[in-house]
Structure 1
Amino acid sequence: MEPERKLDNKDLTMKIVKHLAATAILGASLSTTAWAGELVINSDQADPAPKEAWAEIVKRFEAENPDITVKYNLYDKEAYKTTIRNWLVTSPPDVVFWYAGNRMKTFVDRGLLEDVSDIWADNNMAQDFKSAAPAMTVNGKQYGVPYTYYQWGVYYRKDIFEKYGIAEPKTWDELKAAAATLKKNEVAPFAIGTKYLWTAAGWFDYINLRTNGLDFHIDLMDGKVPYTDDRVKKTFANWAELVEPGYYLDNHASYSWQEAQPFLYNGEAAMYLIGNFIAPNFPAELDGKMASSNSQLSILLCQLQKMRQWIPFISQPKRRTKKMHVSS
């Protein structure tokens, strides 16, 4: 296990917010790359649409804050999930992109993220982000700011469904019946790539939520319920009703989520449970042929105080609109 490193968040908040010079000293004590006048941001937004959006936002921020130079470090998304656990301890940046809820809480519990409750209070974020606030909050304090929201759903090929007389499934039994019809006609019911396991975790979340409910799922994620619980076994039994008949793409462990997409586009698969970040990748020839039967919250997490100009800047409605427009 990595050694725990506790940062004194009270000192960070009280002593540094008013003085960029003081921030430089703290930055030097935590990271050899973070100095006065430089804002270091580590990001995993490497897909073309968000990459373009964030490049524009950084450019505008520097124009409005000429005393600060942004060092925007862009990582491959899958590598980022591993390396963040190292550089948050050894060479922490000022701002990191990460996920809300329990995945954020893991780093909060280790003292690796900054309490930004004052930013929330100063910028009316409790009202603007009312629905997202619980996912940002640990023990009554906020440790991140939401920058995007995306929903998950089952994307499906309407033309393939129509070809085989399949209506959009509304129930579990209807979903299984649709999958059986597709399988019989040599179409993989579900595209999936499990080279990186979060795509399978998405399926587990969906089925467990519908088997056992939200409160149970939260307790399971918090470690309050063991995975050996009979209710979790029921979730896997339900999931087996899709796995055992062979309703998933063959050799899916060989593919990332991106590498599994062509099977949906070329008609070898008919459905894909995934977030709507897939939508910009739909080829033009499928215009009007894709549908979804409809969540995940991503956040900016903060290490130091130089970000106290950056966070309110990117949280302005016009910045969020820019991000959404380009990404869409």
Structure 2
Amino acid sequence: MLKKFWAEEKGQSMVMFAIFLVALIGFAGLAIDGGRLYISKSQLQKAVDAAALAGAQEMISGTEDDARITAEDYARKNYDKNDNPISYTIEFPSNDKIKVTGHEVVPFFLISVLMPKDKEATVPASATVQLTRTRTVVSNIWDYLIFSAATADSKGKEFETTINGGENKFSGDIHINGASKIGNNPIFIDGKYEYVGTLDDKHNSIENTKEKKSAYIEMVKIDKDEYKRKATKVFNSEDEFFKNISAIKSTDTIFVNGDVHFSGNSNVYKWATLYVSGDISINGNGHNFSGLLYAPNGEIRIDGGGMTFKGSLIAYHINTLNGSNNTYTYDGQFKDQLSEEDVSIKIVE
């Protein structure tokens, strides 16, 4: 009878040990495999966060393809195990959003002992980044129809802006930092004529109520390389520019290296902004210009009649505006092309 008792006790102990062993493996599986899942999830989340932020940074000036390549590259560099299959998906829910999703297949060590069918788990992680764009006009020079920045040369001689000719009309404000010399023919200005240096208007060609002594306004020089990177068309020379002039659209932002000389008669030119690294000269009759002319390091010279300008003329030095029956009209829509863009980037999901 005693032997029978010990045999029963031994059998119960084996059952209890088996139950305890299963529970131990279960708890160990939760601790080990669960910990591995948590670590994988955390590392994968950091990778998709970094990838989405990098992709969003590329979206500021690049294409969606550029952003996709950059995002995947960052994801792989931040987290790409050789022993676990990892996949990344990059989507663009809108023009100002990028979403990066990652999936990692993590094999079980202990949980699969108890549940043979559950050999692995897929760990997901995603991040969506929103770009918010705002434009800041850094100076009021873009509010002028005509702006000349130059004051005096190294010897102290004032830079002079000469306006001469009959029946010329200016619809917008004019600002001249240097000296101004006005011819003997009437000038019609629907706006203010601001001057900082000396004003030579002996014949009272400008109405006195339009003339206004002003404070110096500094020239804004847009970074050339930054502008070129964002420009829709970049030309390395004047010849290249004119060879492609027929392909230029009214929405184009253009950069031309060197000087640009317009000549001939009755030509039509349209763009949003034309940034010229050198000088701009315009000769001839009957031309029609639409868009902003910008020569931050050079001068603008105009000599001809019957021309129409819609936009702004902004230069280091507006040298001469000669000719008759020319019409200059300010259009502020073009200044947005040369304002500074601020972009904020943040993870929203």
Identify, as 1 or 2, the structure richer in helix. 1
Normalised to the residue count of structure 1, the TM-score between the two structures is 0.26
Normalised to the residue count of structure 2, the TM-score between the two structures is 0.25
Q: Report which of the two structures shows the higher radius of gyration computed on alpha carbons.
A: 2
Higher relative contact order, chain-length normalized (CA < 8 Å, sep 6+): 1
Identify, as 1 or 2, the structure richer in strand. 2
